[in-house]
Amino acid sequence: MKHLCLSLILFSFISASPVVADNSEPPSYLDSLLTAAAQVVTETVTEFALSTADTTRDLAAIVNTDSDDPLEKYNRMMFRFNQVLDEKALQPIATNYREYTPDIVQTGVSNFFSNLGDVGVVTNSVLQGKLDQALNDSSRLAVNTIAGLGGVIDVATMLDLEKNHEDFGQTFGVWGVPEGPYIVLPVLGPRTMRSAVGTALDTYLQVETLGAVSEAATGQEIVTEMLSLNLIQQRAKMLGKTELLEQAALDPYVFTREAYLAYRRCQVQDCDKIDYQPSDTPEFQDDDIDELDLLDQLD
C-alpha cells in the first residue's frame, strides 16, 4: 500500500499540467524551473551569438572537403556553443534539480521517460527484424505502463525483462544506410548525418506519444514542459562527468567525436550483446584498460 501511494504521488507529479493561475497563486515548481531555464538559455544564445559574429561564415566557407571530418570548423563552433550553454544554463539547473528534488521523484521521472522510450524501441526492433527482442520490449512496455503506473515504477526490470536500446539511427545502419559525416547539433550534441535524421524521427515519435499520454492524463498536451523536464533529468544524470571529459584528452572535441562514433558503430553491430570468451593471455595492457573504463564512464 505504501508503494502504491508513493507511485500515485510520482505519477501526479509527472503528468500534472501547468495551470493558468491568478495573481494570488505562486508559480508551480516546474513552471519556475522552466521559466528560469528559458531566461538563462536566451541570455546565453545572445551572448554567444555576439561573441562569434565576426568568426561565423556561411556553410560553404566552413566545409573542408579534404578532411575526414568535413564539418569540423562548424562542429567545433557548435561544440563550444554547447559547452557555454551547458556551463551557464543546463549544468546549474540540473544541479539545483538534483539537490532539491527527492531521489524517489527523480527515479520516477527517469523511469517514466525510459518507459516512454520503449515505444520507439519496440518500433525499431520490429523494423530491424528482431522479433524476439520486440516481444520482450513490448512486454516491458505493457508491464510498466499497467503495473508500474505509467512507467513510474520499473516493474519489468524486477521481472528480469531486459531493457534494450534501439532507435531510427541504428535501424538505418542495419539497413545499410551510410552514416555520413560527423555533425554536432545544438543542445543535442554529437551525431552523424544518419543518426541526425534518425533523431528527428525519434523526436517526432516521442512528441506524438507524449502528447497522447498527457492529453489522456490531464486533458491537455504539455509536450514542451515534459521534454524540458526530460532534458534536465538527463543532464542531472551526467553531473560530474564534465571534469572527466576535460581530463580525458588534450582535445575534448576529438575525444568526444571518436568516442561517439565508436559507440554508435558498436550499437549498430550489437557488439555489446556479443558474449566474448576470456582469453588465456591478456589482450590489453593496464593503460588500455584504464582508457576503456574511461570511455565506459562517459557513456
Question: Do residues 233 and 106 lie in contact, with contact meaning Cβ atoms separated by under 8 Å?
Answer: yes
What does the DSSP assignment read for 200-240? HHHHHHHHHHHHHHHHHHHSS--HHHHHHHHHHHHHHHTTT
DSSP string across 232-259: HHHHHHTTTHHHHHHHH-S-HHHHHHHH
Parallel, antiparallel or unpaired: strands 189-192 and 182-185: antiparallel
Q: What are phi and psi of 191, to 5 degrees?
A: -150, 170
Q: What pTM did the predictor assign? A: 0.71
Q: In which band, very low, low, confident or very high, does the pLDDT at 74 lie, cut at 50, 70 and 90?
A: very high
Q: What pLDDT, on a 0 to 100 scale, did the predictor assign at position 220?
A: 78
3-class SS of residue 52: coil
pLDDT in tens, 224-270: 889 999 999 999 988 877 666 666 667 889 988 998 999 999 999 88
Distance CA 295, CA 260 (A): 10
In the block, residue with C-alpha cell 551557464: 88
Per-residue CA distances from 184 to 47, 193, 207, 241 (Å): 20, 10, 22, 19
Radius of gyration over alpha carbons of the chain, in Å?
21
Query: Residue 3: its pLDDT value, please?
Result: 43
Burial classification of residue 25, based on how many CB atoms lie within 10 Å of its CB (0-12 exposed, 13-18 middle, 19 or more buried): exposed
The 10s digit of each residue's pLDDT in 99-153 is 999 999 999 999 999 999 999 999 999 999 999 999 999 999 999 999 999 999 9
What's the CA gap between 158 and 142, in Å, rounded?
A: 14
Q: Can you tell me whether residue 16 is helix, strand or coil?
A: coil
Apex 141 CA angle, 202 and 34, nearest 5: 55
pLDDT at 175 over 50: yes
Residues 6+ apart with CB under 8 A from 274: none
**In the chain, what is the straight-line distance between the N-terminal and C-terminal CA atoms, in Å?**
37
